[in-house]
A and B are shown apart, each in its own frame.
Chain A
Amino acid sequence: MHKQLELLIMLHDMDLLLQEVNHEKKVGFEIKKQKNDIHKARDKVAEDLEPSLLKRYEKLLEKYPRAVAPVIDGVCYGCFVTLPTSIVIRMNKNEEVAICPNCGRFIYWFED
Protein backbone atom coordinates (compact mmCIF):
# COMPACT_ATOMS: atom_id res chain seq x y z
CA MET A 1 0.00 0.00 0.00
CA HIS A 2 1.18 3.50 -0.81
CA LYS A 3 2.70 5.13 2.26
CA GLN A 4 0.73 8.33 1.74
CA LEU A 5 -2.52 6.36 1.42
CA GLU A 6 -1.68 4.64 4.71
CA LEU A 7 -1.31 8.06 6.35
CA LEU A 8 -4.57 9.25 4.82
CA ILE A 9 -6.36 6.23 6.28
CA MET A 10 -4.83 6.82 9.71
CA LEU A 11 -5.71 10.50 9.62
CA HIS A 12 -9.25 9.65 8.55
CA ASP A 13 -9.62 7.14 11.39
CA MET A 14 -8.28 9.63 13.95
CA ASP A 15 -10.77 12.22 12.74
CA LEU A 16 -13.53 9.67 13.27
CA LEU A 17 -12.28 9.13 16.82
CA LEU A 18 -12.34 12.88 17.46
CA GLN A 19 -15.94 13.05 16.29
CA GLU A 20 -16.98 10.42 18.84
CA VAL A 21 -14.86 11.35 21.84
CA ASN A 22 -17.80 12.80 23.73
CA HIS A 23 -19.92 9.74 23.17
CA GLU A 24 -17.11 7.51 24.41
CA LYS A 25 -16.86 9.53 27.60
CA LYS A 26 -20.61 9.29 28.07
CA VAL A 27 -20.63 5.49 27.97
CA GLY A 28 -17.76 5.34 30.44
CA PHE A 29 -14.47 5.32 28.55
CA GLU A 30 -11.94 7.49 30.14
CA ILE A 31 -9.97 9.56 27.71
CA LYS A 32 -7.33 10.94 29.98
CA LYS A 33 -5.84 13.38 27.57
CA GLN A 34 -7.53 16.64 26.77
CA LYS A 35 -9.22 17.13 23.45
CA ASN A 36 -6.38 19.46 22.60
CA ASP A 37 -3.87 16.61 23.03
CA ILE A 38 -5.93 14.38 20.78
CA HIS A 39 -5.82 17.11 18.14
CA LYS A 40 -2.05 17.22 18.58
CA ALA A 41 -1.79 13.46 18.06
CA ARG A 42 -3.95 13.83 14.97
CA ASP A 43 -1.80 16.66 13.65
CA LYS A 44 1.32 14.56 14.17
CA VAL A 45 -0.05 12.05 11.66
CA ALA A 46 -1.00 14.92 9.34
CA GLU A 47 2.56 16.29 9.45
CA ASP A 48 3.88 13.28 7.58
CA LEU A 49 1.47 13.73 4.71
CA GLU A 50 2.64 15.48 1.58
CA PRO A 51 1.45 19.10 1.91
CA SER A 52 -0.59 18.97 -1.30
CA LEU A 53 -2.45 15.86 -0.09
CA LEU A 54 -3.06 17.37 3.32
CA LYS A 55 -4.39 20.53 1.70
CA ARG A 56 -6.76 18.48 -0.41
CA TYR A 57 -7.78 16.40 2.62
CA GLU A 58 -8.62 19.50 4.67
CA LYS A 59 -10.46 21.05 1.73
CA LEU A 60 -12.57 17.90 1.34
CA LEU A 61 -13.47 18.06 5.04
CA GLU A 62 -14.96 21.50 4.48
CA LYS A 63 -17.33 19.89 2.02
CA TYR A 64 -17.91 16.38 3.42
CA PRO A 65 -17.83 14.78 6.87
CA ARG A 66 -15.12 12.35 5.68
CA ALA A 67 -12.39 12.84 3.10
CA VAL A 68 -11.51 9.24 2.30
CA ALA A 69 -14.04 6.72 1.02
CA PRO A 70 -13.85 2.95 0.62
CA VAL A 71 -14.53 1.43 -2.76
CA ILE A 72 -16.52 -1.78 -2.61
CA ASP A 73 -17.50 -3.70 -5.75
CA GLY A 74 -16.46 -0.75 -7.90
CA VAL A 75 -18.69 1.73 -6.05
CA CYS A 76 -17.30 4.75 -4.22
CA TYR A 77 -18.91 4.63 -0.76
CA GLY A 78 -18.51 8.39 -0.44
CA CYS A 79 -20.88 9.33 -3.26
CA PHE A 80 -22.28 5.88 -4.14
CA VAL A 81 -21.42 6.28 -7.80
CA THR A 82 -19.96 3.37 -9.77
CA LEU A 83 -16.42 4.19 -10.80
CA PRO A 84 -15.49 4.09 -14.48
CA THR A 85 -14.15 0.75 -15.73
CA SER A 86 -10.85 2.38 -16.67
CA ILE A 87 -10.18 2.96 -12.96
CA VAL A 88 -11.70 -0.29 -11.71
CA ILE A 89 -9.50 -2.52 -13.89
CA ARG A 90 -6.27 -0.88 -12.74
CA MET A 91 -3.89 -3.27 -11.03
CA ASN A 92 -2.35 -2.67 -7.57
CA LYS A 93 -5.00 -0.15 -6.78
CA ASN A 94 -3.85 0.80 -3.30
CA GLU A 95 -0.30 1.33 -4.53
CA GLU A 96 -1.17 4.87 -5.54
CA VAL A 97 -3.22 7.70 -4.07
CA ALA A 98 -6.36 7.87 -6.16
CA ILE A 99 -9.43 10.05 -6.06
CA CYS A 100 -13.02 9.39 -7.02
CA PRO A 101 -13.64 11.17 -10.33
CA ASN A 102 -17.19 11.96 -9.24
CA CYS A 103 -16.89 13.35 -5.70
CA GLY A 104 -13.15 13.96 -5.48
CA ARG A 105 -12.68 12.03 -2.23
CA PHE A 106 -9.56 9.95 -1.77
CA ILE A 107 -10.40 6.30 -2.30
CA TYR A 108 -9.32 3.11 -0.58
CA TRP A 109 -9.92 -0.17 -2.39
CA PHE A 110 -11.03 -3.32 -0.66
CA GLU A 111 -9.57 -6.49 -2.08
CA ASP A 112 -12.24 -8.45 -3.94
Chain B
Amino acid sequence: MKKKSKLYERIKNSIIVLNLRNKSREGILKELVSYLTMDDKAKKILLKTLIKREELGSTTIGKGIAVPHARTLLIKEFKVVIGLSRNGVNFDTKSHKLTHLFFLLLAPPREASNTYLITLGKIAELAKNIGSDRRLLKVKKKSEFFEIIEDIEGKRT
Protein backbone atom coordinates (compact mmCIF):
# COMPACT_ATOMS: atom_id res chain seq x y z
CA MET B 1 0.00 0.00 0.00
CA LYS B 2 1.22 3.46 -0.88
CA LYS B 3 2.44 5.36 2.19
CA LYS B 4 0.31 8.43 2.78
CA SER B 5 2.15 11.67 3.38
CA LYS B 6 1.61 13.32 6.72
CA LEU B 7 -0.02 16.63 7.54
CA TYR B 8 3.16 17.60 9.37
CA GLU B 9 5.15 17.30 6.14
CA ARG B 10 2.61 19.37 4.27
CA ILE B 11 2.39 22.30 6.67
CA LYS B 12 5.75 22.45 8.46
CA ASN B 13 6.87 25.49 6.45
CA SER B 14 3.64 27.45 6.86
CA ILE B 15 3.29 30.89 8.34
CA ILE B 16 2.16 30.59 11.94
CA VAL B 17 0.76 33.35 14.14
CA LEU B 18 0.67 32.42 17.80
CA ASN B 19 -1.37 35.35 19.06
CA LEU B 20 -4.27 36.34 16.84
CA ARG B 21 -5.66 39.59 18.16
CA ASN B 22 -9.05 39.85 16.49
CA LYS B 23 -12.23 38.70 18.12
CA SER B 24 -14.70 38.50 15.26
CA ARG B 25 -15.00 36.09 12.35
CA GLU B 26 -14.28 38.76 9.80
CA GLY B 27 -11.45 40.19 11.89
CA ILE B 28 -9.77 36.80 12.20
CA LEU B 29 -10.02 36.16 8.45
CA LYS B 30 -8.62 39.61 7.74
CA GLU B 31 -5.75 39.04 10.15
CA LEU B 32 -4.87 35.67 8.61
CA VAL B 33 -5.03 37.10 5.07
CA SER B 34 -2.80 40.00 6.11
CA TYR B 35 0.14 37.58 6.37
CA LEU B 36 -0.03 36.73 2.67
CA THR B 37 2.16 38.42 0.12
CA MET B 38 -0.28 39.95 -2.31
CA ASP B 39 -1.54 43.42 -3.09
CA ASP B 40 -4.21 44.99 -0.91
CA LYS B 41 -6.87 44.84 -3.57
CA ALA B 42 -6.35 41.10 -4.00
CA LYS B 43 -6.50 40.65 -0.21
CA LYS B 44 -9.83 42.45 -0.16
CA ILE B 45 -11.33 40.20 -2.85
CA LEU B 46 -9.97 37.10 -1.14
CA LEU B 47 -11.49 38.20 2.16
CA LYS B 48 -14.90 38.59 0.51
CA THR B 49 -14.60 35.09 -0.97
CA LEU B 50 -13.68 33.60 2.41
CA ILE B 51 -16.57 35.36 4.13
CA LYS B 52 -18.98 34.08 1.46
CA ARG B 53 -17.67 30.57 2.05
CA GLU B 54 -18.32 30.87 5.79
CA GLU B 55 -21.83 32.10 5.09
CA LEU B 56 -22.57 28.96 3.10
CA GLY B 57 -21.54 26.82 6.03
CA SER B 58 -19.01 27.31 8.76
CA THR B 59 -15.58 25.77 8.22
CA THR B 60 -15.30 24.86 11.90
CA ILE B 61 -14.66 21.14 12.34
CA GLY B 62 -14.88 20.71 16.10
CA LYS B 63 -12.22 20.60 18.85
CA GLY B 64 -11.87 24.38 18.55
CA ILE B 65 -10.51 24.17 15.01
CA ALA B 66 -11.61 26.01 11.86
CA VAL B 67 -10.25 25.66 8.36
CA PRO B 68 -11.24 28.66 6.26
CA HIS B 69 -10.31 27.72 2.73
CA ALA B 70 -10.69 28.59 -0.91
CA ARG B 71 -9.35 27.87 -4.30
CA THR B 72 -8.65 31.20 -5.87
CA LEU B 73 -7.20 32.84 -8.92
CA LEU B 74 -5.47 35.28 -6.63
CA ILE B 75 -2.62 33.05 -5.58
CA LYS B 76 0.04 31.21 -7.52
CA GLU B 77 0.78 28.31 -5.20
CA PHE B 78 -0.69 26.39 -2.29
CA LYS B 79 -0.43 28.38 0.94
CA VAL B 80 -1.27 27.73 4.57
CA VAL B 81 -1.46 30.33 7.32
CA ILE B 82 -1.96 28.94 10.82
CA GLY B 83 -3.27 31.15 13.60
CA LEU B 84 -3.93 30.65 17.27
CA SER B 85 -6.34 32.68 19.35
CA ARG B 86 -5.66 32.21 23.06
CA ASN B 87 -9.07 33.43 24.16
CA GLY B 88 -11.04 31.88 21.35
CA VAL B 89 -13.42 33.45 18.88
CA ASN B 90 -17.08 32.93 18.11
CA PHE B 91 -16.19 31.94 14.56
CA ASP B 92 -19.23 29.82 13.83
CA THR B 93 -21.90 32.40 14.50
CA LYS B 94 -24.60 29.70 14.77
CA SER B 95 -22.78 27.80 17.48
CA HIS B 96 -21.64 29.15 20.82
CA LYS B 97 -18.47 27.10 20.92
CA LEU B 98 -15.25 29.04 20.73
CA THR B 99 -12.68 28.43 18.00
CA HIS B 100 -9.00 28.73 18.90
CA LEU B 101 -7.02 27.25 16.05
CA PHE B 102 -7.27 28.35 12.44
CA PHE B 103 -5.76 26.82 9.34
CA LEU B 104 -6.24 29.13 6.38
CA LEU B 105 -5.80 27.01 3.25
CA LEU B 106 -5.54 28.56 -0.19
CA ALA B 107 -4.81 26.99 -3.50
CA PRO B 108 -4.70 28.09 -7.11
CA PRO B 109 -7.42 26.73 -9.43
CA ARG B 110 -5.14 24.14 -10.89
CA GLU B 111 -2.59 22.01 -9.02
CA ALA B 112 -1.06 18.84 -10.34
CA SER B 113 -0.56 17.24 -6.94
CA ASN B 114 -4.00 18.12 -5.51
CA THR B 115 -2.34 19.20 -2.28
CA TYR B 116 -5.28 21.39 -1.33
CA LEU B 117 -7.95 18.71 -1.10
CA ILE B 118 -5.59 16.21 0.51
CA THR B 119 -4.50 18.73 3.15
CA LEU B 120 -8.13 19.65 3.88
CA GLY B 121 -8.79 15.98 4.53
CA LYS B 122 -5.68 15.63 6.69
CA ILE B 123 -6.71 18.53 8.93
CA ALA B 124 -10.21 17.07 9.30
CA GLU B 125 -8.51 13.80 10.29
CA LEU B 126 -6.32 15.65 12.81
CA ALA B 127 -9.42 17.17 14.42
CA LYS B 128 -10.85 13.68 14.83
CA ASN B 129 -7.64 12.25 16.25
CA ILE B 130 -6.87 15.08 18.61
CA GLY B 131 -9.22 13.75 21.31
CA SER B 132 -8.85 15.71 24.51
CA ASP B 133 -5.30 16.78 23.68
CA ARG B 134 -5.16 20.54 24.27
CA ARG B 135 -1.42 20.97 23.74
CA LEU B 136 -1.80 22.71 20.36
CA LEU B 137 -3.76 25.50 21.99
CA LYS B 138 -1.05 26.19 24.54
CA VAL B 139 2.12 26.27 22.46
CA LYS B 140 4.62 29.04 23.05
CA LYS B 141 6.95 28.44 20.13
CA LYS B 142 6.32 27.81 16.45
CA SER B 143 8.55 24.74 16.37
CA GLU B 144 6.63 23.28 19.30
CA PHE B 145 3.40 23.51 17.31
CA PHE B 146 4.71 21.38 14.47
CA GLU B 147 6.31 18.90 16.88
CA ILE B 148 2.92 18.33 18.50
CA ILE B 149 1.26 17.79 15.11
CA GLU B 150 3.96 15.25 14.30
CA ASP B 151 3.43 13.59 17.65
CA ILE B 152 -0.36 13.33 17.28
CA GLU B 153 0.02 11.88 13.80
CA GLY B 154 2.78 9.52 14.91
CA LYS B 155 0.57 7.95 17.53
CA ARG B 156 -1.98 7.05 14.89
CA THR B 157 0.29 5.12 12.57
A27 vs B121: C-alpha distance when bound (angstroms): 5
Q: Which of B22-30, B65-73, B80-88, B142-150 contacts A (4 or more CB under 8 A)?
A: B65-73
A29 touches B59 (CB 8 A): yes
> Closest residue to B94 on the A side, CB-wise?
A32
Q: Mark A84-108, 1 if CB is under 8 A from B, else 0.
A: 0000000000100000000000001
CB distance from B147 to the nearest CB of A (A): 25
Interface magnitude class on chain B: 20 to 34
Which of A14, A23, A30, A66 sits near B58, CB closer than 8 Å?
A30
Q: Mark B21-62, 1 if CB is under 8 A from A, else 0.
A: 000000000000000000101100100110011011111010
Which of A13, A41, A72 sits near B72, CB closer than 8 Å?
A13
Enumerate chain A residues within 8 angstroms of B57, measured Cβ to Cβ: 29-33
Q: Which A residues between 4 and 30 are near B, CB-CB below 8 angstroms?
A: 6, 9-10, 12-14, 16-17, 20, 23-24, 27-30
Enumerate chain A residues within 8 angstroms of B128, measured Cβ to Cβ: 28
Q: Mark A34-45, 1 if CB is under 8 A from B, else 0.
A: 000110010000
B45 touches A6 (CB 8 A): yes
In the assembled complex, B138 has its CB within 8 A of some CB on chain A: no
Number of interface residues of A (CB under 8 A): 31
Known: A10-B49, A28-B61, A29-B57. A1 touches B70 (CB 8 A): no
Enumerate chain B residues within 8 angstroms of A38, measured Cβ to Cβ: 56
User: Can you name 12 A-B residue pairings with CB atoms under 8 Å?
Assistant: A1-B42, A10-B52, A13-B74, A16-B71, A27-B117, A28-B61, A28-B128, A29-B67, A32-B94, A66-B110, A70-B108, A108-B73
Lowest 7 A-B CB distances belong to which pairs?
A31-B57, A28-B124, A27-B121, A16-B71, A32-B57, A1-B41, A27-B124
Chain A residues close to B by CB (< 8 Å): 1, 6, 9-10, 12-14, 16-17, 20, 23-24, 27-33, 37-38, 41, 66, 68, 70, 72, 77, 94, 108, 110-111
